[in-house]
Structure 1
Amino acid sequence: MTSQRFNLISLHDAIDLLGVSRSTFDRWRKLKQLPFVKIGKEILIDKNELEQWVRHHSFSLQNPSFASGATTTITPQEQSTITVGYQSGTAHMWTALIMKELGWLEEELNIANPSRSVHVKWLDAANGTLLLQGLIGGSIQIASLGDYPIVLSQSLRQTLPAFRPVLLAFDGKTSGGQGISLVMRKGLEINEISEICQWPLSSAAQSSAGYRLSKLLQSLGGHEHHFEHKEMDECMAGIVKRKLAGSVMWEPYISLTQYHGVGQVLFPEGMGENYLTGIVADENWARHHKGDAVAYLKAHVRVHMFIRNNPLAAAELISRAKGIPPEITASIIAKVRWDAIFYSKDMNTLQQLSHPLFQEICFEGEYLQHAINALKLPLVSCDPLEGEWAVEQLY
C-alpha cells in the first residue's frame, strides 16, 4: 500500500505546508505534540491529524515561544514576525532554501537578541513579481529577486513614493547570462535562429528570463512580446507535452529538460549580460529593524560559505528538498558564483538592464559590512569593488 492511501505526506511536504524551517519543525516534533509516523528512517505525517493539530495549537503557532519550547511569558512588544520571500524554483537563489532547511536565520536572530522571540515565515513564490507585491504591501520584509525584478523594484520606487526598496546584497551570479538559456523542444530542426519568431514560445512575465527572450526576439526582427507568459513549471510542461516550441528558462529547468531528454539548449553559454540575483528589503523596514536585516545577511553569508566549502552536502540538501537528482543540483551550484559582495561591474549590469526605465539602482552596503564584521571576517568597503570579480569568491 502507498503512503497516499493512508493520507500520509512526507516530512518536506509538511514543512512546506506549515511554512517553517526544518529546525522549527523538529522542535515541535520533539515536544511530542506534533503527530508523526516513523517507518524505518522515514518520517511521515497524517495530513488530517496535522490539520487538527494546527487548529488546536493555532494560538501557540502565533506565539514564537512555542517553537523554541520556552516556558517564559513573552510580552507582545517582544514578539515579532519576519516573512522571507524566496524562490526555490530558481537555482541562483537556493541560498534561502538552504537557510530555511538549516534554520540558520532563526539561529542568527536569537544570537542578535536572545530576549526577543521572532517567528520566521517562509513564502516560496513562483516568480519575483509576486514577491514584489508582498514587499510593496508590507507582508514580506526580505525577498530574493532576480536581476530584472530588482530593476523593476527601482522603477516602482519612483511610482510608489512610500515604497523604498533597497538592494542589501547579491546572491548567485554567473557571467554572460549563464543559467538562463533558450530551450527548444527536442526534435525541432532549426536552420536559422530567426525561425523561432514564428513558433510558439513562452517565459515568465516581468522576469530575468522573460526580459532576455523579449530582447532576443527584438534583435531577430520579431515582436518583443511574441511569447506567452507562463510560470516556469508550465513552460517545462508545455515543452514536455509538445504544446510549445521553446522557452527561455533558468536553472534548474534547463538542466532538467536535458536530463529527461525533452529539450535542446540553443544558448548554453548564456544569454547576454551577467545574470545576477540579490536580496531586497524595504529601506524603512531595514532601518527600523537593523538587527534583523544584519542577522539575515549573516545567515546569507554563512550559507554561501557552506555551499563553497561543502558543495556535495549542499547539493544533497537541495536534492532532498526539491526532489531533483543530486548530480543535477551539484552540477548547477558548481557553475554559480556564490558571492554577496557588490562590484562596480554588478551595478553597471543592473544599470544597463534599467536603461529603458532610467532608474538609479539603490543599494546599501552597510548592512552587509556589519554582517561580515559580526562573523569576524575581513572587512570590505561599503562601496562596490572595482575591476573584475576576484578569482576567490569573497562572501
Structure 2
Amino acid sequence: MLKDQFNLIHIREVMDQLDVSRSTIDRWRKNKQLPSVKIGKEIYFDKNEVMRWYREFGQVRRTPSASSSDETLIIGYTTVSTHMWSPLIIKEFGLLEEELKRIRSKDKIEVKWHKAKDGMELINWMIAGNIHIATFGDYALSVSHLVGTLLPDFRPILLAAAGKSTNGDGFGMVVPTDLTLGSISELATLPIATTFRTNAEYRLRKMLESHNMPELNIIHRSIEESMESLRQGRLSASIMWEPFLSLVHHQKIGKSIFNQELGLGFMAGIVADERWVLAHEDLAVAYLKANLLANRLIRDQPNRVAKIFSAETGFAVEVTSLSISKIRWDAALYYKDLKMLNYFEPVQHLGQISPSKEQMEIRFNTRYLRIAAQELKLPALPLTPLDGAWQKELYY
C-alpha cells in the first residue's frame, strides 16, 4: 500500500503513540505546522517526521505538583538600563498571567515580581532558587555563566534576547558640554567615574588597555552621583548607558564622546536555570510568549509604553521615549549577539579563576523561543541562532 511504501501512519496511530487527542493533533497541524498528508479522506503522517517534530515542537512538558496544583512563578527584573525594561510591560499589561490562565486554566499560579537594584542581585537570588526567570545585562550574564561553571547546582541558560543596541548606542563617555577632547590620550589628565564591577567599568578598562593607558584615575561612583556631579561641574567624565545618555542630552547636562571606542553594543538577555526550565517548560514558553507580545507593544505603541516607563523610573516621558527609540526590541538570538556576550571575561568577580574558552562560552537554548514564536504565528525561527546582521524587517 502507498502508506507502507512511504512509512506513513494514520492519525489515530499518532494519537495513540503521543497520547494526545484528535483536537490536539488538529491544533498542531493548524498552528504549529505539523507535517501531514491527506490520502482520500484520511490523514497520514511520516512516522520519523512526527517523532522529530514532536521532540522539537510538541507539547512542552510540565511536572505536576504531587500535593497541590498551586504554584508560584517568580520573575526578576531591574530598571537600571533601558535594555531591561520589557518585563515592566509584561507586568503592567498582565501578559504573563493571561497566558498562564490559557495553558493552566485549572491551576492557581501566582506570579511574583522581584525588582533588584542590579544584575548581581538577580544572580544571587537565582543561585538561591528565589527567582525562576530574570532579565539582566550582558556582563551580569557572563558573570552568571562563570559562576555556573563552579556551582554544579546552578546552570544558567540564555533563552532569548531582551533589548539590544548597536556599537556606539548603548554606552558613552559623558563630559561637560564645554569640554572638548580630540583623542583618547587626553583622558590621561582627567578622573573618570564609573560604576563598580559592571559592564561600564569593564568596557572602560578594555578601551584604556587598547590604548596602553591602564593606569588612569578611575573613581567608582553610582551613576546618580555622577549625574549630579556633572550637573554641578564637579566631574570631568563618566561612563553612562541608556536611559542616562538620553537624560544628559535632554537636560543638557553633558555630551557623549568616544561611544564607538567603548567597544561592542549592549544586549540584555532572558535567563533561567536549565533544570528549572526542563521541569517547567510550559511556564518558560509562557513567559517568552509574554515577552514577544511586550516587544510588539513597545515597537507599535512607543508613546503609550514611554508613559509606563516614565511612571516606573521617574524619568520624564520625553527621556523614556527617546531612550526606547534607540533600542532594538527583538528577542531573537543572532550569532553576533553570542559573539558579543562571549567578549566578556568577568574573572575579577571570582578571584584568580582562569576558565577555559569553552567554559566561558555562553550556554543558550533556542527551543522555547521557537515554540513561543510558532504559537504566536510569527515567522519560523531556525534551529540555531540567526546568521549575519540583525534583519531590518524581522523582529520577534
TM range (shorter): 0.7 to 0.9
User: Could you tell me which residue of structure 2 aligns to residue 391 of structure 1?
Assistant: 392
User: Could you tell me which residue of structure 1 aligns to residue 80 of structure 2?
Assistant: 89
CA-based RMSD: 2.4
Q: 1:138 to 1:227 in 2, by over 3 A?
A: farther
User: Could you tell me which residue of structure 2 aligns to residue 373 of structure 1?
Assistant: 374
* Paired residue type of 1:85: G
User: Could you tell me which residue of structure 2 aligns to residue 210 of structure 1?
Assistant: 201
The 3-state SS of whatever aligns with 1:159 is coil
> Are the counterparts in 2 of residues 215 and 224 from structure 1 also a CA contact under 8 Å?
no
Paired-residue identity, %:
37
Question: How far apart in 2 are the matches of 1:226 and 1:136?
Answer: 34
Which residue, out of 224, 244, 249, partners 2:240?
249
The 3-state SS of whatever aligns with 1:173 is strand
* Greater mean alpha carbon deviation, residues 169-178 or residues 214-223: 214-223
Which residue, out of 126, 149, 154, partners 1:163?
154
The 3-state SS of whatever aligns with 2:207 is helix
The 3-state SS of whatever aligns with 1:176 is coil
Deviation at 1:301, TM superposition (A): 0.3
* Greater mean alpha carbon deviation, residues 221-230 or residues 146-155: 221-230
Q: 1:75 to 1:107 in 2, by over 3 A?
A: farther
Structure scoring higher RCO (CA < 8 A, sep ≥ 6) equals 2
Question: How far apart in 1 are the matches of 2:114 and 2:140?
Answer: 17
The 3-state SS of whatever aligns with 2:342 is helix
Deviation at 1:75, TM superposition (A): 10
* Paired residue type of 1:152: V
User: Could you tell me which residue of structure 1 aligns to residue 273 of structure 2?
Assistant: 282
User: Could you tell me which residue of structure 2 aligns to residue 341 of structure 1?
Assistant: 332
> Are the counterparts in 1 of residues 170 and 265 from structure 2 also a CA contact under 8 Å?
no
1:182-205 residue CA offsets vs partner (Å, 9 max, x unmatched): 112344453543232443322223
Question: How far apart in 1 are the matches of 2:222 and 2:95?
Answer: 29
Q: 1:351 to 1:318 in 2, by over 3 A?
A: same
Deviation at 1:220, TM superposition (A): 3.3
* Greater mean alpha carbon deviation, residues 79-88 or residues 338-347: 79-88
* Paired residue type of 1:366: R
> Are the counterparts in 2 of residues 179 and 250 from structure 1 also a CA contact under 8 Å?
yes
Question: How far apart in 1 are the matches of 2:74 and 2:101?
Answer: 16
User: Could you tell me which residue of structure 1 aligns to residue 292 of structure 2?
Assistant: 301
User: Could you tell me which residue of structure 2 aligns to residue 141 of structure 1?
Assistant: 132
Instruction: Output aligned runs, 1:90-169, within 5 Å.
Output: 90-169=81-160
> Are the counterparts in 1 of residues 207 and 263 from structure 2 also a CA contact under 8 Å?
no
Question: How far apart in 2 are the matches of 1:291 and 1:247?
Answer: 43
Q: 1:227 to 1:137 in 2, by over 3 A?
A: farther
Deviation at 1:371, TM superposition (A): 1.0
Question: How far apart in 1 are the matches of 2:378 and 2:164?
Answer: 21
Question: How far apart in 1 are the matches of 2:158 and 2:393?
Answer: 23
The 3-state SS of whatever aligns with 2:385 is coil
Question: How far apart in 2 are the matches of 1:355 and 1:128?
Answer: 13
The 3-state SS of whatever aligns with 1:265 is strand
Question: How far apart in 1 are the matches of 2:113 and 2:228?
Answer: 26
> Are the counterparts in 1 of residues 207 and 261 from structure 2 also a CA contact under 8 Å?
no
Residues 1:79 and 2:80 are matched in the alignment? no
> Are the counterparts in 2 of residues 338 and 393 from structure 1 also a CA contact under 8 Å?
no
Deviation at 1:314, TM superposition (A): 1.8
Gaps of 5+ in 1: 1-73
Question: How far apart in 1 are the matches of 2:218 and 2:255?
Answer: 18
User: Could you tell me which residue of structure 1 aligns to residue 9 of structure 2?
Assistant: none
Question: How far apart in 1 are the matches of 2:200 and 2:161?
Answer: 18
Question: How far apart in 2 are the matches of 1:175 and 1:255?
Answer: 15
User: Could you tell me which residue of structure 1 aligns to residue 250 of structure 2?
Assistant: 259
Deviation at 1:141, TM superposition (A): 1.2
Gaps of 5+ in 2: 1-64, 348-354
Deviation at 1:317, TM superposition (A): 2.2
Question: How far apart in 1 are the matches of 2:390 and 2:384?
Answer: 14
> Are the counterparts in 2 of residues 197 and 217 from structure 1 also a CA contact under 8 Å?
no
Question: How far apart in 2 are the matches of 1:299 and 1:262?
Answer: 37
Deviation at 1:297, TM superposition (A): 0.4
Question: How far apart in 1 are the matches of 2:154 and 2:111?
Answer: 22
Query: Larger Rg: 1 or 2?
Result: 2
* TM value normalised by structure 2: 0.75
Residues 1:233 and 2:234 are matched in the alignment? no
Question: How far apart in 2 are the matches of 1:138 and 1:355?
Answer: 22
* Greater mean alpha carbon deviation, residues 323-332 or residues 279-288: 323-332
Number of paired residues? 322
